[in-house]
Amino acid sequence: MAKQNKHSIIGIISFSIGIFNILVSAVIYWALWSYLNHKFGEVLLLQVQILNIGSKVEIITKPLGLVLGVIGLIQKTKRKHFATIGVIINVIAILWTLASNLWF
């Protein structure tokens, strides 16, 4: 039986992207909520830029984090802790995006 080596680098990257995705989703949710409710009007340009840039970043990073997590789970000689958590976080971020798109 092969001894498992260190954590998967791909799994750690997936975990990091997952945390980044949650933060981006939270910022986009705040910007959308404040824009729709006419809150914080003095930062309207910032809200529009967050929605514009954030949505483009989400299109790339959410599937990328999920794919990297799955690749990390497939690696046989590496530990799978970070890859598993990365997949879970990225799935939550994707579901959050889908729910917020249906809500607004």
- pLDDT score of 97 more than 80: yes
CA distance 99 to 81: 27
Domain boundaries, the chain: 9-103
pTM of the model: 0.82
pLDDT at residue 2 above 60? no
Condensed to tens digits (0 to 9), the pLDDT of residues 40-58 reads 667 778 888 888 888 889 8
pLDDT in tens, 77-89: 888 899 999 999 9
Give pLDDT tens digits for 11-38: 999 999 999 999 998 888 888 888 777 7
Contacts of 20 (CB under 8 A, 6+ apart): 61, 65
CB 25 within 8 A of CB 62: no
Distance between CA atoms of 30 and 77, rounded to whole angstroms?
Answer: 41
Closest among 68, 57, 62 to 19, alpha carbons compared: 62
Look at the alpha carbons of 59, 62, 65, 66 in this order and tell me if their dihedral is positive or negative.
Answer: negative
Q: What is the structure's pLDDT at 48?
A: 82
CA-nearest of 84, 62, 61, 77 to 12 is 84
